[in-house]
Structure 1
Amino acid sequence: MPRPTARVLTLLELLQSGGTRTVAELADRLGVEGRTVRRYVGQLIDLDVPVESVRGRYGGYRLAPGYRLPPLMLSDDEALAVLLGLIAGRRAGLTTAGHTASETATAKIRRVLPKHLARRLDTLLESLSFTDQPRGFATPDTGVLLTLADAVRHGRPVSIRYTDRDGRRTERTLHAHGIVAHAGRWYVTGTDPEIGEDRTFRLDRIADARTLLGSFEAPVDSDPAHRMLSGFATAEYRHEVTLRIHGTVEQIRAHLPATVATLEEHEPAAGQDRATERWLRVELRAERLDWLPPVLASLDRPFVIERPDELRDLVTALADRLASYARQA
């Protein structure tokens, strides 16, 4: 695409984002002089795009109110970015209404791509490999997702119909603080006003969401992702595990992330920094313990098991097996 034409389309993109743009602002964004901006505006007007001139101290250019913009136009780089984003999102499970919407959007964009760009994309996809295999994800309902997003933005309570992992169906009220995408699933986190506790719900288990009257103020320190991960690490499970591990925070978190365990961090002793190895207390909850001994072995740091005794027995059994394998000729 010739460079002046690309700049005219960029100008249209800037104007369609709304508001009045000064000549100085447009010139800076386009990398041209003010008189060139005026010439580009004239070209848009010649194409029947109703660009209005606004006079005064804060004057500049804007699109006429109510103007229906022409079809979306993407540069080569933008088209590739959109298509790769759709492909990556589909593999990661970050799509709604199954894969249908992502697939149809991809097909629509590919149909209108110039032949040379379509060939470049095909070449890229043929040479692209992923380290993980695509999995089947339970995607959320689009209407539920958008309703919750609107409730988060405007601080409105919502009523949701939820089915938990045991199949129990309940209707709940939630003060939603944020939506989090994690490990191929969508979650909403917030406060249950009836019990005054933080709760996290999987969006694919929400059958319906309705905005209620009223409003609420989200906590000042509300970090939806942090609250969700903390909730995962402290959820009720069959086994409660307490360890003391000698190492740095980074070494421990590489094997026991925040989604799995809580880490009691103390301020380093005088003369130490956070990169210094020291004894740290680690707590986690799990339905099963058999996965934990290999993790502790791979951590390769001194550790003490405070509870439960069953974990100590499993670690000893793993050590005995490894020792017997090493002795084999």
Structure 2
Amino acid sequence: MVRYDTSPTARALLALEAIQDSPGITAQRLGDHLGVTERAARRYVAILREAELPIESVTGPHGGYRVGRGLRLPPLMFTAPEALGLVMAVLEGHRGAADPTELVGAALSKILRALPQQVAEPVRAVRHITGPPPDPSLRVDPVLTARLVEAWTSSRRVRLDYRLEDGRERPMEVDPWAVVLRHGRWYLLCWSHTSDAQRALRIDRVLSVFVTSQCFTAPEDLDALRALEEHLSQGWRHEVDVLLRADLDEATRWLPRSLGRLEVVDGGIRLLATTDDPDWYARQLANTPLAFEVVGSPALVQATEDLAARLVKAAGSAGPAPTPPTIADTPPAGTSPPDREVRQVQQQTNRGPRALG
């Protein structure tokens, strides 16, 4: 039942929502829904028509009102979970959603402008890092995700039930720092009071969420995407310790953040990470033009040696060596590789967490 002090404008919008939800609703039922007389309900329908909304009358003994098809869509009424679910589906399934100049991206921008700020702002922050999920089972519950977004934006601690990789369920108490879409998966970047450590939880494994009244303060200047990428590069079976003979700008340019954490040291840049697939990791290092030395991880040392032996064998059976490039063909020292080559390497290397995990 609508409150007695609801404004006429609000009642007109509620009348529109009722007609959209119940095509053929009678004036009497509409009045009961709004808490007004049948005559007043008809007056609100007239207001909608004056606003050029196509409200049609259905004839017959059970006639009523319905929204017709006009040149423009009438205002659509979404709950926050419904709107977030629609936006999430677009982000997951259409690459054009990241570009506001594309047709789908422009439509998404309109939806974002209509969302409550606490829902719209997090989505705006992640819309540029979209990608279709690798498996339909990874789609998340919009209602549950909306609760996490609400807790994140209001800085409220949550209690949740989480399904571990082995199928066991674990209750956790966490401070939700950010909701992030990356590599086709939705993650909750948080501080776990249960583990007393930073965690990146897959939201498709979150079974229930309870938002508490306890507030928290997130780290200042938190770069949620960077923190997530660095977190996803850690925690696997084999340690990675590589010395890159490059400066920080070069290393950052060629290596995605998901490949590991970079530290400036004497002699270059140190790359620290972990991996479950040393062979894959050795190929990613070989894809860059950077000189490097594996100084840790016996498994990665072996994988690098195996890759080198395979390349040497392939080069030995390839026939006569190609003619060395002339001076005119050789790019000047210090110049950057062609943009096409950069894009190819970036496309190959930007598979970190998926391949590492």
Q: How does 1:134-213 map to 2 (within 5 A)?
A: 135-137=134-136, 138-213=138-213
Amino acid at match of 1:141: D
Change beyond 3 A, Cα 1:168–1:232: same
| Number of residues of Structure 1 aligned to a counterpart in Structure 2 | 212
SS in 1 for 2:278: coil
The question of 1:321 aligning with 2:310 is answered: yes
Determine if contact 1:264/1:282 at 8 Å carries over to the other structure: yes
Match of 2:74 among 71, 76, 83: 71
Q: How does 1:1-329 map to 2 (within 5 A)?
A: 48=50, 71-72=74-75, 89-91=92-94, 135-137=134-136, 138-234=138-234, 236-265=235-264, 279-328=268-317, 329=319
Change beyond 3 A, Cα 1:311–1:169: same
Mapped partners of 2:176, 2:87: distance in 1: 31
Q: CA deviation at 1:160?
A: 1.0
Q: CA deviation at 1:195?
A: 4.3
**Any stretches of 5+ residues in structure 1 without a counterpart?**
1-15, 17-44, 50-69, 74-82, 95-101, 107-131, 268-277
Identity among equivalent pairs (%): 23
Using the size of structure 1 for normalisation, the TM-score is 0.56
Query: Deviation per CA, 1:146-176, whole angstroms, max 9, x where unpaired?
Result: 1011111212111111102221211111111
CA-based RMSD of the aligned residues comes to 3.6
Change beyond 3 A, Cα 1:133–1:219: closer
Determine if contact 2:172/2:193 at 8 Å carries over to the other structure: no
Mapped partners of 1:193, 1:162: distance in 2: 14
SS in 1 for 2:270: strand
Mapped partners of 2:192, 2:87: distance in 1: 38
Q: CA deviation at 1:182?
A: 0.5
Q: CA deviation at 1:134?
A: 7.6
Query: Deviation per CA, 1:279-323, whole angstroms, max 9, x where unpaired?
Result: 111111011211122222221322111112332232222222222
Amino acid at match of 2:311: L
Mapped partners of 1:149, 1:133: distance in 2: 21
Q: CA deviation at 1:260?
A: 2.1
Amino acid at match of 2:156: R
SS in 2 for 1:158: strand
